[in-house]
């Protein structure tokens, strides 16, 4: 299928090659394609290794999206609402996979905003009322998202969203990446739960000295 | 050793018999012992099955505590600061195991208070400046705390606290209860991480239809 990834940072740089390897067509959207190719060295290297990867402005990338495919929000948390809101019309009817975290690193440590009584997943769904937003993969380091094998052990990826068909499509993609334990938490409101795990993710990564871990719901 | 449990609710009712079974002396502290025996049916049944269990007012229970033992805060989250603060003098030099959650159920759903930039664990440490507060077991249903075996699988219990010796004493107790994966997250500030998992705990329990699960850090 056709997958549009919005954002060219570390998450895009691990997801795009994984989607290409599965045989999907991948279009990447960015604010300014010329600037991305000039200053984003990681992304430029990615395009050199994967000539099939297409790059376009946000608006053109979304216009090229397929309603039978997926649009992935991989824009950094604090910036993504401003980038996504103007695309609301074009994104109507599309499944939007939100993998972002609402962290604010402007202080000495990450603080979540929104938190507790709202989530970025819900805010994105409100900004894109015609889209089917599915929150997932946001409890993991970028490098673990498309490669769930951690020391040969199974762990859990969570999905939150209001539309069952959209969650099923995302679940199929996750399984094709190797995820065996896909846990449907419920509506997009449950994005609060996975976003609030960011604090645990940061503290665990500091305690362990690695980003290569996952959360398994043992039951 | 001597373990003082403050609070007579569901957490006390599972921890007290588990500590007694390990051969510890257990004293339970409550606001009003007469009222507890009159209205708390679960606790009254517990004392009938375990005559060795001692019940006292908060102040007397803490006065009976041993600095080589432990004091467990099992008072409900919203009420515990008011109950603990007047005991600060007596609790100086003691290891205080905080298993509480800062949930506010007064609305239609649980909301955490404090959250994100503070935690109940830190607030308790500030209220008890001479005590060694260790946050633990707060990511689990009461019935799983002293019985970590869930479907024969290993999962993780977290400890947060500023004093290494206090954490080691708590870690020994956890291991004696059967916990094999005790993860030291760092200082009491990391109580923010485990307390913010309450939202994930609630949503997971609703998705699974059971309280009998745990979080495993797979690494």
Residue B162's CATH number: 3.40.50.720
Strands A132-136 and A214-218, by their bridges, are unpaired
Which residue in A71, A73, A53, A54 sits closest to A62, CA to CA?
A71
What is the rounded average pLDDT of the residues B109-118? 92
Give the residue on A whose Cα is nearest the Cα of B197.
A197
Q: Give the nearest partner residue to A219 out of B151, B192, B217, using CB atoms.
A: B151
Cross-chain Cβ contact B183/A155 below 8 Å = no
Only one residue has tokens 């992935």, namely: A72
The pLDDT of A135-141, averaged and rounded, is 98
A131 prior amide bond cis, ω within 30: no
Residues A5-21: tens digit of each pLDDT = 999 999 999 999 999 99
Q: What distances in angstroms separate CA A31 from CA A11, A15, A28, A90, B33, one per listed residue?
A: 16, 19, 10, 16, 66
Chain A: residue whose CA lies nearest to B203:
A185
Residue pair B142/B152 in contact by the 8 Å Cβ criterion: no
For residue A46, being part of any structural domain is answered with: yes
Pairing of strands B2-6, B25-30: parallel
| Residue B124 CA: distances (Å) to CA of A23, B101, B113, B208 | 54, 12, 13, 32
Task: Point out the least confidently predicted range of A152-166, B23-37, B93-107, B190-204.
Answer: B93-107
Contact B215 A218 (CB under 8 A): yes
The mean pLDDT of B131-142, rounded to a whole number, is 98
Which of A111, A154, A218 lies at the smallest CB-CB distance from B117?
Answer: A111
User: How far, in Å, CA of B127 to CA of B100, rounded?
Assistant: 15
Determine the residue among B103, B106, B119, B200 to mutate to test chain A binding: the one whose Cβ has the most chain A Cβ atoms within 10 Å: B200
Domains in chain B, number = 1
Q: List residues of A whose CB lies inside 8 A of any B CB.
A: 111-112, 115-117, 150-151, 153-155, 183-186, 190, 192-194, 196-197, 199-200, 202-204, 206-208, 210, 212-219
Question: Looking at CA atoms only, how far is residue A184 from chain B in angstroms?
Answer: 7
Phi, psi of A29 (to 5 degrees): -105, 140
Q: What is the pLDDT of residue A110?
A: 82
Closest CA to B201 of B148, B137, B149, B153: B137
What pLDDT does A48 receive? Answer: 97
Note whether residue B194 is domain-resident: yes
Q: Parallel, antiparallel, or unpaired for β A54-57 and B103-104? A: unpaired
pLDDT, mean of residues A70-97: 96
Please tell me the predicted confidence (pLDDT) of residue B107: 77
CA distance A207 to chain B (A): 5
Tens-digit pLDDT profile for residues B65-87: 999 999 999 999 989 999 999 99
CB contact under 8 Å between B196 and A199, yes or no, is yes
Average pLDDT of span B122-147: 97
- pTM of the shown model: 0.96
Tell me what percent of the residues of chain B surpass a pLDDT of 90. Answer: 93
Q: Residue range A126-134: average pLDDT?
A: 98
Mind listing the pLDDT tens digit for each residue in A23-41? 999 999 999 999 999 999 9
pLDDT over 90 at B130, yes or no: yes
Answer whether B200 sits within 8 Å of A197, measured CB to CB: yes
Nearest to B111 among A116, A183, A219 (CB): A116
The answer to whether A218 contacts B217, with C-beta atoms less than 8 Å apart, is: no
Q: Give the list of residues 6+ apart from residue A93 with CB closer than 8 angstroms, or none.
A: A67, A130, A131
Give A95-126 pLDDT, tens digit per residue: 999 999 998 777 778 899 999 999 999 999 99
Q: What's the pLDDT band for A198 if we cut at 50, 70, 90?
A: very high
Distance (Å) from the alpha carbon of B217 to chain A's nearest alpha carbon: 5
Q: Is residue B219 part of a domain?
A: no
Nearest to B185 among A190, A204, A210 (CB): A204
Cα angle at A121 between A200 and A145, to 5 degrees? 55
Count of CB pairs separated by less than 8 Å, A with B: 110
Smallest Cα distance from A105 to chain B, Å:
13
Q: How far is B210 from chain A (nearest CA, A)?
A: 9
Chain B positions in Cβ-Cβ contact with residue A210 (cut-off 8 Å): 219
- Write down the mean pLDDT value for chain B: 96
Identify the CA nearest to B47 among candidates B3, B17, B11, B9. Answer: B17
Q: Which domain holds residue A140?
A: 2-208
The residue among B113, B116, B188 with the most chain A CBs within 10 A of its CB, best to mutate, is B116
Beta-carbon contacts of residue B88 (< 8 Å; ≥ 6 apart):
B127, B128, B129, B130, B131
Confidence band (pLDDT; 50, 70, 90) for B187?
A: very high
Write out pLDDT tens, residues B9-26: 999 999 999 999 999 999
In a domain, A85, yes or no: yes
Within a domain: A121? yes
Cβ(B123)–Cβ(B101) below 8 Å? no
Option in A190, A197, A216 nearest B216 (CB):
A216
* CA-derived radius of gyration, chain A: 16
pLDDT class of B35 with cuts at 50, 70, 90: very high
Please measure the distance between the N-terminal and C-terminal CA atoms of chain A and give it in whole angstroms: 34
The pLDDT assigned to B192 comes to 98
Do the Cβ atoms of A69 and A5 come closer than 8 Å?
Answer: no
Residue B216 lies in a domain: no
Q: Decide: A165 and A70 in contact? Cβ < 8 Å.
A: no
Give the one of A153, A194, A207 whose C-beta lies nearest to B218's C-beta: A153
Confidence grade of residue B49 (pLDDT, cut at 50, 70, 90):
very high
Terminus-to-terminus CA distance in chain B, angstroms? 34
pLDDT in tens, B144-161: 999 999 988 999 999 999
The answer to whether position A215 is within a domain reads no
Residue B105: predicted pLDDT = 75
Q: Is residue A184 in some structural domain?
A: yes
Question: How distant is the Cα of B128 from the closest Cα of chain A, in angstroms?
Answer: 24
| A185–B204 C-beta distance less than 8 A | yes
């Amino acid at each position: 299928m056709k997958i549009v990834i919005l954002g060219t940072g570390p998450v895009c740089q691990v997801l795009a090659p994984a989607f290409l390897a599965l045989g999907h067509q991948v279009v990447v959207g960015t604010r300014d394609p010329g600037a991305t190719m000039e200053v984003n060295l990681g992304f430029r290297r990615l395009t050199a290794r994967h000539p099939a990867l297409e790059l376009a402005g946000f608006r053109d990338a979304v216009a090229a999206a397929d309603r039978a495919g997926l649009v992935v929000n991989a824009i950094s948390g604090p910036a993504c609402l401003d980038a996504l809101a103007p695309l609301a019309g074009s994104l109507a009817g599309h499944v939007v996979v939100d993998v972002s975290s609402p962290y604010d690193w402007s202080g000495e440590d990450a603080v979540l905003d929104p938190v507790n009584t709202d989530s970025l997943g819900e805010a994105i769904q409100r900004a894109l009322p015609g889209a089917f937003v599915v929150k997932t993969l946001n409890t993991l380091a970028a490098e673990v998202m498309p490669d769930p094998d951690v020391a040969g052990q199974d762990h859990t990826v969570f999905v939150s969203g209001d539309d069952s068909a959209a969650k099923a499509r995302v679940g199929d993609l996750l399984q094709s990446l190797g995820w065996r334990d896909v846990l449907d938490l419920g509506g997009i409101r449950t994005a609060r739960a996975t976003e609030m795990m960011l604090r645990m993710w940061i503290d665990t990564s500091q305690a362990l000295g690695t980003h290569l871990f996952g959360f398994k719901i043992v039951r």
